[in-house]
Amino acid sequence: MSDAIRVRFAPSPTGYLHVGGLRTALYNYLYARKVGGRFILRIEDTDQERYVEGAVENLINTLDIVGLKPDEGPATGGDFAPYYQSQRTELYRNYAAELVEKGAAYYCFCSSEELDAMREEQQQEGYVTGYDGRCRNIAPAEAKKRAADGEPYVIRLKTPDEGEVFFYDIVREKVTFNWDMVDDQVLIKSDGFPTYHLANVVDDHLMEISHVIRGEEWLSSVPKHLFLYEQFGWKPPKMAHLPLLLNPDKSKLSKRQGDVAVEDYLAKGFLPSAMINFVVLLGWHAAGDREIFSLAELEKEFSLKRVNKAGAVFDIEKLRWMNGQYLKNEPLAEIIKFARPFFLERFGDIEEDRLSRLIDYARPRAATLIEMTEECLPFMQKLEYSAEDRALLEEETSKAMFSFWLEELSLQKPLTAESVNALLKATSEKFDLKGKMLYSPLRLALFGTEHGPDLLQIIELSGLQTSLKRLQIWTD
RNA sequence: GUCCCGUUCGUCUAGUGGCCCAGGACUCAGGAUUUUCAUUCCUGCAACAGGGGUUCAAUUCCCCUACGGGAUGCCA
């Protein structure tokens, strides 16, 4: 075993990439990049009941979009393939058998019903729930025979009954458990597949994982894992358990209280760069006050030592702000790349030069790409008015002014800030209008509201012909 | 219930014994700039869960309590 740094992101393919998963993947990736290690993607698909068609492809695709490319994994390949646990079941069964031989694991023939009844009883009596070890004492030879005869069985780990275990977590430092709290975990299920605990330990060892960086929900499983390493005579990896991502009510981040799939956020028009930047701050902070970081910058800046212990609420408002920052500060070409599909989807084909200008107009005004398209609506579709607006548009002075503009506007070639201003000034003098009575009718007619960008921009983005038509309507 | 982990502004966080009557960011409020809107800039509101210790000195160290979360599965 080498002393190279190797970390892994080991999701179970449930259909989409959870933002908590993204954060875990990101921290793994960043740590690997920071120390010159390797980032491995491994698929933990040992639960046949949870199989979701296309989930893995989707997962890999999403990781790719946000820029977290595995050095090894199902799509990339690598020296430790296969990276699907469902393709390694033979391996786990052999290791489980080894444990049985050593007396560190045993066959258990309890049915689900029996176990349910046991737990219910324990709960009623006020005892700690957990497997009571009733199959522990079946003689190995007899157990083997029963299994061979076709009786359904699982293999359980024979954990110590008493004493303490402790270990040093990179994030939490010393963590101690008492063995009497750890029950005999199932290692091999009755369908022959391994549980997470066995597969995880076997693979981390075989794949030479040096650091396990995962969510805090795994912390209480560590004793079992450590015991497995010990029984196999393997050196356990270093551990770092990350704080959980929380709903606004502080419960573990869940679907019920908003979107949890990274894909959902991308579909709404959050940029990969903003997602990464926002998510990295949920549980980690750079030494200074800086909060805006590109992935490349994070690769230099990141440190596991600066990871927080407490859970972090996923605050969509700050994500929106963060996305807005990227929308207005990234190079326009970059934003166009991401915004184009959203605009085409909403408005159909748009001439490239106009598309570029629409996007540049919308980006300081929106928090997401979808909102950017909404900002452009007034340039793209028929305007609607309230009764109050109509009254102003139908004023005699407004009508006269529109007629004047109808004639003058097409004469201004090219249309520039200067020419529009000159026209505005001429209009003001000719009709003796200023302030609200000058600007409001024009804005209303050309843009649909009294507030908005300057008139030149409105005309350019709507198109001269559209603008002329919009004035025409009110002169009849 | 039991075990484990956690607890600084509403939220994300800085802070490792004196620099902190606690700093930054989001949100919110007010102001400046802009014909208006958006952007930008400035200002403001707002927190060390509570109680005991240790110390000349605690946000920082220890203990207790409270609260929150996780685990307690033939799910990961």
Q: What is the 3-state secondary structure (H, E, C) of chain A?
A: CCCCCEEEECCCCCCCCEHHHHHHHHHHHHHHHHHCCEEEECECCCCHHHCCCCHHHHHHHHHHHCCCCCCEECCCECCCCCCEHHHCHHHHHHHHHHHHHHCCEEEECCCHHHHHHHHHHHHHHCCCCCCCCCCCCCCHHHHHHHHHCCCCCEEEECCCCCCEEEEEECCCEEEEEEHHHCCCCEEECCCCCECHHHHHHHHHHHCCCCEEEEEHHHHHHHHHHHHHHHHHCCCCCEEEEECCEECCCCCECCHHHCCCEHHHHHHHCCCHHHHHHHHHCCCECCCCCCCCCCHHHHHHHCCHHHECCCCEECCHHHHHHHHHHHHHHCCHHHHHHHHHHHHHHHHCCCCHHHHHHHHHHHHHHCCCHHHHHHHCHHHHCCCCCCHHHHHHHCCHHHHHHHHHHHHHHCCCCCCCHHHHHHHHHHHHHHHCCCCHHHHHHHHHHHHCCCCCCCHHHHHHHHCHHHHHHHHHHHHC
User: Of the ranges A278-292, A393-407, A462-476, which is most confident?
Assistant: A278-292
Give the mean model confidence (pLDDT) for residues A388-412. 84
Q: What is the CATH number of the domain that holds A131?
A: 3.40.50.620
Q: What is the CATH number of the domain that holds A465?
A: 1.10.10.350
> Rounded to an integer, what distance in angstroms lies between the CA atom of residue A255 and that of residue A332?
34
pLDDT score for A2: 54
Q: Which residue is nearest to nucleotide B10 (CA to C1')?
A: A248
Give the mean model confidence (pLDDT) for residues A124-138. 87
Q: Are residues A364 and A453 in the same domain?
A: no
**Interval A341-373: pLDDT, tens:** 999 999 999 999 999 999 999 999 999 999 999
Distance A385 CA to B49 C1' (A): 54
Averaged pLDDT of chain A: 93
Kindly report which listed range (A35-49, A176-190, A277-291, A431-445) carries the lowest average pLDDT score.
A431-445
- Among A371, A401, A426, the domain-final residue is A371
Q: Are residues A387 and A407 in the same domain?
A: yes
Q: Are residues A102 and A145 in the same domain?
A: yes
Which of A205, A308, A319 has its CA nearest to residue A260?
A: A319
Distance A288 CA to B17 C1' (A): 22
> Rounded to an integer, what distance in angstroms lies between the CA atom of residue A452 and that of residue A444?
10
pLDDT score for A123: 83
A223 part of a folded domain: yes
Q: Which residue is nearest to nucleotide B23 (CA to C1')?
A: A289
Q: Are residues A166 and A228 in the same domain?
A: yes
Which of A151, A167, A62, A59 has its CA nearest to residue A110?
A: A151
Say whether pLDDT at A476 is over 80: no
| Catalytic entry in A102, A235, A252, A255 | A255
Q: Which residue is nearest to nucleotide B70 (CA to C1')?
A: A217
Q: Are residues A132 and A189 in the same domain?
A: yes
Which of A42, A44, A59, A43 has its CA nearest to residue A195?
A: A44
Q: Which residue is nearest to nucleotide B27 (CA to C1')?
A: A317
Q: Please give the nucleotide, over all strands, whose C1' is closest to the CA of residue A186.
A: B74
Q: Please give the nucleotide, over all strands, whose C1' is closest to the CA of residue A187.
A: B74
Kindly report which listed range (A107-111, A372-376, A440-444) carries the lowest average pLDDT score.
A440-444
**Interval A262-317: pLDDT, tens:** 999 999 999 999 999 999 999 999 998 999 999 999 999 999 999 999 999 999 99
Q: Are residues A366 and A438 in the same domain?
A: no
Q: Are residues A165 and A202 in the same domain?
A: yes
Distance A230 CA to B60 C1' (A): 38
Q: Are residues A361 and A397 in the same domain?
A: no
Distance A39 CA to B63 C1' (A): 42
A111 part of a folded domain: yes
The structure tokens listed for A329 are: 């500060």
Tell me if residue A309 is catalytic: no
Query: ipTM more than 0.90?
Result: yes
A99 part of a folded domain: yes
User: Of the ranges A130-139, A197-206, A400-409, which is most confident?
Assistant: A197-206
- Among A183, A214, A242, the domain-final residue is A242
Kindly report which listed range (A13-27, A81-95, A243-257) carries the lowest average pLDDT score.
A243-257
- Among A188, A219, A242, the domain-final residue is A242
Which of A213, A212, A309, A314 has its CA nearest to residue A270?
A: A314
A98 part of a folded domain: yes
The structure tokens listed for A299 are: 């690769």
The dihedral of CA A61, A62, A66, A69: what is its sign?
negative
> Rounded to an integer, what distance in angstroms lies between the CA atom of residue A376 and that of residue A64?
30
Nucleotides of strand B under 7 angstroms from a protein beta carbon? 1-8, 10-15, 23-27, 35-40, 68-76
**Interval A376-385: pLDDT, tens:** 999 999 999 8
- At A35, is the pLDDT very low, low, confident or very high (cuts 50, 70, 90)? very high
Q: Is A124 exposed, middle or buried (CB count within 10 Å of its CB: 0-12, 13-18, 19+)? A: exposed
Q: Please give the nucleotide, over all strands, whose C1' is closest to the CA of residue A11.
A: B76
Say whether pLDDT at A97 is over 70: yes
Give the mean model confidence (pLDDT) for residues A38-48. 95
Q: Are residues A337 and A419 in the same domain?
A: no
A352 part of a folded domain: yes
Q: Please give the nucleotide, over all strands, whose C1' is closest to the CA of residue A164.
A: B3
- At A1, is the pLDDT very low, low, confident or very high (cuts 50, 70, 90)? very low
Q: Are residues A92 and A233 in the same domain?
A: yes
User: For chain A, what is the domain count?
Assistant: 3
A10 part of a folded domain: no
Which of A327, A448, A320 has its CA nearest to residue A376?
A: A448
The dihedral of CA A11, A14, A20, A25: what is its sign?
positive
**Interval A203-261: pLDDT, tens:** 999 999 999 999 999 999 999 999 999 999 999 999 999 999 999 988 888 888 888 99
> Rounded to an integer, what distance in angstroms lies between the CA atom of residue A98 and that of residue A457?
75
A131 part of a folded domain: yes
Give the global pTM: 0.94
Q: Are residues A398 and A352 in the same domain?
A: no
Q: Are residues A101 and A177 in the same domain?
A: yes
A139 part of a folded domain: yes
- Supply the range of the domain harboring residue A340: 331-371
Distance A298 CA to B24 C1' (A): 19
Q: Please give the nucleotide, over all strands, whose C1' is closest to the CA of residue A190.
A: B74
Distance A363 CA to B38 C1' (A): 9
